[in-house]
């Protein structure tokens, strides 16, 4: 039974996971080598819980109990009696190896060692351990207390007991759990790449500007945010780094090719909201262009981005990254898509999506537009992902 939880990293993600664990009655230890970061984390958590009190989501007694169950420390040895340790630090495999080796020397043999990584190989992280069968990926989305999805990623070394314990715990925390293969980007960060990549390509070809592309995908497609608004929210430097990481991890498959536009914007310091300027100017919003609300153009943009997203979701099924149910859950609960991409292709018609992709493939002659073999097979056999 998992009772005591250790968190390594007192950043936004580490603190969010600590809050969830404590709210679910666990004793929690948060470790960070930077004492200033620990103080910042404590103050931040107090503020968040005070806001929840104001909104009457929790009582003042609840707040005191939640805070009392969390200890903040700079000493790694304080994790020694943990049943589960979740690492939420910088995305650097060398640093993660050092931390996991150090933690393994402190904890019991039954302690599960998990990483919250969004892009690194769980098998590689586990390779630093003497007992790699206890290593697993538990990937929360930011902000962790609010986002319902958690991706759980067993490595090739992970045993069944570790996987089952992790799934049971996160489900008990009332999160939506999807299990996925240890591949670059897991489900969400893999399947979502065309949302940014194809939008950037459409802009680079001069077909439409940022505002028009965002309008097409929100107004006509039902997405909560357009790709350029979302990249500005995430940060162009962060989004570009993930794209580059996934591209390299997939042996430079053209489906994941980064954009020079995004690279140049990141290099220029146009990082988005946090810098005051990205694809949009947040310091002088009146200088931003108005969208061209031509519905023919808008539907072309929507069809092109959507068919690329659907093709990537189908590829994730084809390559056994996750089940159709888990892939649709991941995209609706992890990135708030208006509907699951596999449900969407069932509704639109597999032949319709195949025709759109085949047209792009024939026109451009680029491998990025190749229709997935599973899509071709489903069209030939007239099958659906969710026939009922």
- Show which residues are catalytic: 118, 139, 151, 189
DSSP-assigned beta bridge partners for residue 114: 86, 136
> How far is it, in rounded angstroms, from Cα 119 to Cα 139?
10
| DSSP, res 133 | G
> How far is it, in rounded angstroms, from Cα 164 to Cα 381?
36
> How far is it, in rounded angstroms, from Cα 249 to Cα 237?
18
Q: What are the strands of the beta sheet with 27-31, ordered from one edge?
A: 70-73, 27-31, 4-8, 84-87, 112-115, 135-140, 149-154, 176-179
What element of type H or E holds 35?
Answer: helix 35-54
The radius of gyration of the chain from alpha carbons, rounded to an integer in Å, stands at 22
Give Cα separations from 187 to 18, 286, 316, 320 (angstroms): 24, 38, 7, 11
Alpha-carbon torsion (265, 268, 273, 274), positive or negative = positive
CA torsion angle 46 51 53 55 (round to 10)? -170
């Amino acid at each position: 039974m998992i009772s005591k939880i250790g968190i390594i990293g007192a950043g936004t993600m580490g603190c969010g996971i600590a809050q969830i664990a404590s709210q679910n009655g666990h004793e929690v230890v948060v470790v960070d080598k930077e004492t200033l970061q620990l103080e910042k984390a404590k103050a931040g958590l107090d503020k968040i819980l005070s806001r929840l009190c104001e909104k009457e989501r929790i009582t003042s007694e609840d707040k005191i109990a939640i805070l009392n169950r969390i200890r903040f420390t700079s000493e790694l040895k304080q994790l020694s009696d943990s049943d589960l340790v979740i690492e939420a630090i910088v995305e650097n495999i060398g640093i993660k190896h050092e931390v996991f080796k150090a933690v393994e020397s402190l904890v019991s043999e039954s302690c599960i060692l998990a990483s919250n990584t969004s892009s690194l190989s769980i098998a590689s992280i586990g390779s630093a351990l003497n007992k790699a069968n206890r290593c697993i990926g538990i990937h929360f989305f930011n902000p962790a207390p609010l986002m319902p999805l958690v991706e759980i990623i067993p490595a090739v070394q992970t045993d069944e007991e570790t996987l089952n314990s992790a799934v049971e715990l996160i489900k008990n925390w009332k999160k939506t759990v999807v299990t996925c293969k240890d591949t670059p980007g897991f489900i969400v960060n893999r399947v979502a790449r065309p949302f940014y990549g194809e939008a950037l390509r459409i802009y680079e070809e001069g077909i439409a500007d940022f505002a028009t592309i965002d309008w097409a995908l929100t107004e006509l497609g039902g997405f909560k945010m357009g790709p350029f608004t979302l990249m500005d929210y995430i940060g162009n430097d962060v989004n570009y780094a993930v794209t580059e990481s996934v591209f390299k991890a997939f042996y430079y498959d053209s489906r994941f090719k980064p954009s020079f536009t995004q690279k140049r914007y990141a290099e220029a310091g146009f990082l988005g909201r946090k810098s005051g300027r990205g694809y949009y100017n947040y310091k002088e919003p009146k200088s931003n262009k108005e969208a061209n609300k031509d519905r023919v153009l808008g539907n072309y943009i929507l069809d092109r981005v959507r068919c690329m997203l659907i093709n990537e979701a189908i590829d994730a099924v084809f390559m056994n990254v996750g089940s159709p149910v888990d892939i649709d859950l991941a995209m609706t609960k992890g990135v708030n898509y208006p509907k699951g991409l596999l449900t969407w292709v069932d509704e639109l018609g597999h032949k319709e999506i195949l025709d759109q992709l085949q047209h792009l493939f024939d026109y451009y002659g680029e491998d990025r537009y190749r229709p997935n073999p599973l899509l071709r097979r489903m069209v030939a056999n007239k099958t659906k992902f969710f026939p009922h």
